[in-house]
């Protein structure tokens, strides 16, 4: 009988997300356009390596969502249904490995 083992691989993803979040906040606070190029400059200056697609994802999201509005609505809840799976592992990728039981 084989037992499945789940391995969480989220370290790089979390670093990339946090770096982009902080870069966007820094740019917004400084009055500089939150663009992919500017985010890369801030992240590079901080000496952080991120997966290349993260700044683009953040910028696409912010085209339709004001960062200022998001900051003002932090913690606000409309009591609607959850939009994703519950638990503490949001944003983490899971890989399954099979282990043989002895």
- What residues contact 95, with CB distance under 8 A and at least 6 apart? 6, 7, 9
| Residue 77 C-alpha from the chain's centroid | 20
Question: Smallest Cα–Cα separation from 50: which of 73, 27, 85, 23?
Answer: 23
pLDDT score of 66? 82
* Cβ atoms 67, 34 nearer than 8 A: yes
* Cβ atoms 37, 31 nearer than 8 A: no
* Cβ atoms 5, 97 nearer than 8 A: yes
Average pLDDT, the chain: 74
Question: Residue 26 above 70 pLDDT?
Answer: yes
pLDDT score of 68? 80
């Amino acid at each position: 009988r084989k037992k499945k083992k789940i391995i969480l691989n989220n370290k790089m993803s979390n670093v990339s997300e946090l770096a982009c979040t902080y870069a966007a906040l820094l740019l917004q606070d400084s009055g500089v356009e939150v663009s992919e190029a500017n985010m890369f400059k801030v992240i590079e200056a901080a000496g952080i390596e991120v997966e290349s697609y993260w700044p683009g994802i953040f910028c696409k999201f912010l085209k339709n969502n004001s960062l200022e509005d998001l900051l003002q609505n932090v913690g606000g809840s409309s009591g609607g249904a959850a939009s994703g799976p519950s638990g503490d592992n949001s944003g983490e990728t899971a890989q399954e490995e099979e282990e043989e039981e002895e």
